[in-house]
């Protein structure tokens, strides 16, 4: 089998057994990208030359890390030393960081080989990757549809076998929603589980780095590498990191799974509900106990989320002024004009919209009415989850209300576009870990199931997700791209 | 409360954002339904509820005060469009 088709675990074994060399793997991946990325458009930047050099060096090393010779790619909001990091924004089109984000460094130190940087909605604001300032990414299952977003490039690249795994960020669903649309595994760890140092902030109290992979086992392997406290990220948690692979294959008999009725309301397509029901039956067969639960405040999560996220984004993005990096209009006569012109030129419509809205929210007249109120609702949402988790190990819901939508169909309907996140946003509001795994197909398009865990219980999520995966074959199905 | 293009202009001023007339009109139109959707949060009873600013109960995080290498001045200036004598260069401030 061609190397590009393999999973991370299979590649690790092939390298260890000397059946494949790092150079063979890298060539296979680059060949695949050359063949299919013209249609998928997952990559903003490719680092083929340095990848080839690194592979050559890795081939000569006898000792190396867990990921020796394994290619990976990063969402383009994760800083990479000497490699352009654009956040898919005109503002940062030629920004070249002089340091690696902590997670990028960890993969590098483990022997992984960076293949390139992946497309996204500009500055991670969006749910379709159509809002990239450069070009949209196309869903490998149907090239007329979106891959989801904001990590659409990452999910599409993994689904199309362009890369064995990728790291991305999830602020309101940006890993899980594209994972659902592209039929891959997307894990968002607990807030604080993985360092955010060197990752371009969208909403600092909600952002988290996670993994997109071909299966649950690979997600566990990568979590082992990226999780843990970082002295450079004061919000990273000082808690021991378990071996996530030890949860693979453990029995789920007696596990209590709550199913929140608010996540199955009228906006969720009946075909999607049916797929989740089927999956829950599978869990029952495997010995889990399924019961309906209630998360009453989750219906306000989306409105409260966009209030908080816009407010945080508007302050975070004040740094994009074009002076130290980014677009700079050299004709400005005074410094205020320079700032306003640069931001006007460099930022796209969605970023401007949210900046304006965030500024509105944080205005002295509105701060209490909206921002403080949203933070209180966030407390209520978190308390709802806490209450359920007193009696349950996990919560299961659909990841998205529908399968992937057509390109261009929602781009002018903001509220529709935002509502794609309605089942994922509550989890970020409560800071919880969650995974999306493929649980079926509707008219040839994949759909994901979301498994939500207690804070820092990524292990239980991995355990349950793996059990499902071992008893189904959705994750092994591949889109037909018309090339071999 | 609704958004007019004057309101958008005012917010743009506070956000240091230059907008075209067309953008001001467009954002005013787009933000109104969005605000209407967000308005629902005002109906939620949050009496006796404390705001949740941050998920983790973290307090101060300390690390050893060690000198670690950092990129030099030249390296840090590389991404700037204009520099002069080792500084970022900007238009007149005063």
Q: Which residue has the tokens 């950092």?
A: B70
For residue A360, give the nearest of B11, B37, B54 by CB distance. B11
* Residue A460 Cα, gap to closest chain B Cα (Å): 20
Please determine, for residue A414, whether its predicted confidence score (pLDDT) is greater than 70.
no
Q: Which of B32, B42, B52, B69 to mutate to test the interface with A (most CBs of A within 10 A)?
A: B52
Which residues are CB-neighbours of A196 under 8 A, at least 6 positions away?
A102, A204, A207, A208, A209, A233, A235, A236
Bridge partners (DSSP) listed for residue A446: A441
Residues A174-186: what's their mean pLDDT? Answer: 98
How much is the pLDDT for A413? 66
How much is the pLDDT for B70? 86
Please determine, for residue A253, whether its predicted confidence score (pLDDT) is greater than 50.
yes
* Residue A397 Cα, gap to closest chain B Cα (Å): 22
Residues B16-21: what's their mean pLDDT? Answer: 97
Q: Is A330 on the interface with B (CB under 8 A)?
A: yes
Judging contacts by C-beta atoms under 8 Å, the chain A residues touching residue B12 are: 340, 356
Q: A379 and B23: CB-CB below 8 Å?
A: no
* Cβ B8 vs Cβ B31: under 8 Å: yes
Q: B52 and A340: CB-CB below 8 Å?
A: no
Helices (H), A227-364: 270-285, 301-316, 335-346, 349-362
Please determine, for residue A417, whether its predicted confidence score (pLDDT) is greater than 90.
no
Helix (H, G, I), strand (E, B) or coil at A334: strand
Please determine, for residue A246, whether its predicted confidence score (pLDDT) is greater than 50.
yes
Q: Is A338 on the interface with B (CB under 8 A)?
A: yes
Q: What is the pLDDT of residues A100-132, one digit of tens each?
A: 999 999 999 999 999 999 999 999 999 999 999
Beta-strand relationship, A185-188 and A208-213 = antiparallel
For residue B55, give the nearest of A205, A374, A414 by CB distance. A205
Percent with pLDDT over 70 in chain B:
97
Beta-strand relationship, A165-170 and B83-84 = unpaired
Distance CA A152, CA A41 (A): 10
How much is the pLDDT for A161? 98
Q: Which of residues 36-55 of B touch A (CB under 8 A)?
A: 37-42, 44, 46, 49-55
Please determine, for residue A262, whether its predicted confidence score (pLDDT) is greater than 70.
yes
Distance CA A137, CA A153 (A): 6
* Residue A286 Cα, gap to closest chain B Cα (Å): 33
Q: A377 and B46: CB-CB below 8 Å?
A: yes
Give how far Cα A408 sits from Cα of A90, A128, A145, Å. 21, 9, 9
Q: What is the pLDDT of residues A308-356, one digit of tens each?
A: 999 999 999 999 999 999 999 889 999 999 999 999 999 999 999 999 9
Distance CA B33, CA A174 (A): 23
pLDDT band, very low/low/confident/very high, at B94 (cuts 50, 70, 90) = confident
Q: Is A191 on the interface with B (CB under 8 A)?
A: yes
Distance CA A426, CA A299 (A): 9
pTM for this entry: 0.97
Please determine, for residue B88, whether its predicted confidence score (pLDDT) is greater than 80.
yes
For residue A376, give the nearest of B27, B49, B91 by CB distance. B49
Please determine, for residue A410, whether its predicted confidence score (pLDDT) is greater than 90.
no
Weakest-pLDDT range from A37-51, A279-293, A370-384, B51-65: B51-65
Please determine, for residue A483, whether its predicted confidence score (pLDDT) is greater than 70.
no
For residue B92, give the nearest of A95, A327, A334 by CB distance. A334
A435 closest CA partner among A443, A424, A445, A420: A424
For every residue of A137-157, DSSP letters joined together read --BTTBTTB---SSSHHHHHH
Percent with pLDDT over 70 in chain A:
98
- When the pLDDT of each residue in chain A is averaged and rounded to a whole number, the result is 96
Q: Is B9 on the interface with A (CB under 8 A)?
A: no
Judging contacts by C-beta atoms under 8 Å, the chain B residues touching residue A318 are: 16
H/E element holding A256?
Answer: strand A256-260
How much is the pLDDT for B2? 82
How much is the pLDDT for B68? 86
How much is the pLDDT for A469? 98
Q: Active-site residue numbers of A?
A: 75, 150, 174
Please determine, for residue A458, whether its predicted confidence score (pLDDT) is greater than 60.
yes
Residues A262-271: what's their mean pLDDT? Answer: 92
How much is the pLDDT for A133? 98
- Higher per-residue confidence, A414 vs B89: B89
- When the pLDDT of each residue in chain B is averaged and rounded to a whole number, the result is 91
Q: What is the pLDDT of residues A25-38, one digit of tens each?
A: 999 999 999 999 99
Distance CA B20, CA A97 (A): 31
For residue B18, give the nearest of A325, A341, A363 by CB distance. A341
Q: What is the pLDDT of residues B37-77, one digit of tens each?
A: 899 999 999 999 999 988 887 667 778 888 988 889 999 99
Distance CA A461, CA A436 (A): 10
Distance CA A148, CA A155 (A): 8
Q: B61 and A238: CB-CB below 8 Å?
A: yes
* Cβ A403 vs Cβ A178: under 8 Å: no
- Check the CA dihedral A110-A115-A117-A120 and report its sign: negative
* Cβ A194 vs Cβ A207: under 8 Å: no
- What is the complex's ipTM, to 2 decimals? 0.95
Q: A235 and B38: CB-CB below 8 Å?
A: no
How much is the pLDDT for A484? 46
Please determine, for residue A380, whether its predicted confidence score (pLDDT) is greater than 80.
yes
Q: What is the pLDDT of residues A428-455, one digit of tens each?
A: 999 999 999 999 999 999 999 999 999 9
How much is the pLDDT for B58? 65
- Would you put residue A105 in left (φ > 0), alpha (ψ -120 to 50) or beta? alpha
Which residues are CB-neighbours of A98 under 8 A, at least 6 positions away?
A81, A82, B71, B75, B76, B78
């Amino acid at each position: 089998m061609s190397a590009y088709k393999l999973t991370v675990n299979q590649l690790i074994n092939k390298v260890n057994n000397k059946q494949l060399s790092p150079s063979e793997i890298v060539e296979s991946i680059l060949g695949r990208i050359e063949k299919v990325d013209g249609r998928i458009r997952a990559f903003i930047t490719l680092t083929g030359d340095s990848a080839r050099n690194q592979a050559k060096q890795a081939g000569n090393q006898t000792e190396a890390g867990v990921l020796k010779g394994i290619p990976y790619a990063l969402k383009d909001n994760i800083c990479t030393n000497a490699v352009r990091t654009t956040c898919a924004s005109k503002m940062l089109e030629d920004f070249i960081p002089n340091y690696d984000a902590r997670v990028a460094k960890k993969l590098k130190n483990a022997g992984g080989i960076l293949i390139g940087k992946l497309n996204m909605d500009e500055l991670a604001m969006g749910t379709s990757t159509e809002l990239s300032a450069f070009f949209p990414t196309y869903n490998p299952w149907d090239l007329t549809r979106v891959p989801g977003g904001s990590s659409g490039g990452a999910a599409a690249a993994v689904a199309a076998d362009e890369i064995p795994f990728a790291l991305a960020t999830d602020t309101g669903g940006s890993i899980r929603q594209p994972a659902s649309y592209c039929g891959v595994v997307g894990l968002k760890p607990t807030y604080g589980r993985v360092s955010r140092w060197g990752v371009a902030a969208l909403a600092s109290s909600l952002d988290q780095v996670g993994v997109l992979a071909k299966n649950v086992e690979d997600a566990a392997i990568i979590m082992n590498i990226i999780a843990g406290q970082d002295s450079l990220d004061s919000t990273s948690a000082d808690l021991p990191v378990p071996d996530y692979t030890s949860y693979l294959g453990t029995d789920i008999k007696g596990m209590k799974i709550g199913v929140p009725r608010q996540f199955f309301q009228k906006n969720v397509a009946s075909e999607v509900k049916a797929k989740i029901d089927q999956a829950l039956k599978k869990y029952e067969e495997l010995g889990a106990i399924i019961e309906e639960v209630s998360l009453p405040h989750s219906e306000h999560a989306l409105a409260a989320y966009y209030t908080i996220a816009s407010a945080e984004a508007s302050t975070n993005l004040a740094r994009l002024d074009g002076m130290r990096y980014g677009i700079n209009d050299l004709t400005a006569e005074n410094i205020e004009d320079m700032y306003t012109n640069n931001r006007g030129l460099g930022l796209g419509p969605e970023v401007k919209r949210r900046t304006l809205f965030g500024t509105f929210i944080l205005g002295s007249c509105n701060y209490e009415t909206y921002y403080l109120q949203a933070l209180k609702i966030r407390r209520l949402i978190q308390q709802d989850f806490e209450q359920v988790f007193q009696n349950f190990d996990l919560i299961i819901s659909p990841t998205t209300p529908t399968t992937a939508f057509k390109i261009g169909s929602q781009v002018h309907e903001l509220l529709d576009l935002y509502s794609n996140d309605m089942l994922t946003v509550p989890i970020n509001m409560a800071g919880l870990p969650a995974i999306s795994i493929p649980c079926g197909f509707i008219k040839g398009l994949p759909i994901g199931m979301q498994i939500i865990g207690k804070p820092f219980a990524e292990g239980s999520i991995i355990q349950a997700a793996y059990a499902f995966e071992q008893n189904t074959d959705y994750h092994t199905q591949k889109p037909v791209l018309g090339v071999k | 409360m609704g958004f007019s293009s004057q309101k958008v202009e005012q917010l743009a001023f506070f956000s240091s954002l230059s907008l075209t007339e067309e953008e001001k009109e467009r954002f005013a139109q787009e933000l109104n339904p969005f605000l209407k959707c967000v308005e629902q949060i005002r109906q939620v009873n949050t009496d006796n509820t404390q705001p949740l600013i941050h998920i983790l109960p973290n307090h101060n995080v300390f690390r050893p005060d060690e000198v670690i290498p950092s990129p030099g001045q030249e390296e840090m200036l590389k991404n700037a469009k204009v520099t002069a004598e080792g500084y970022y260069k900007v238009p007149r401030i005063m």
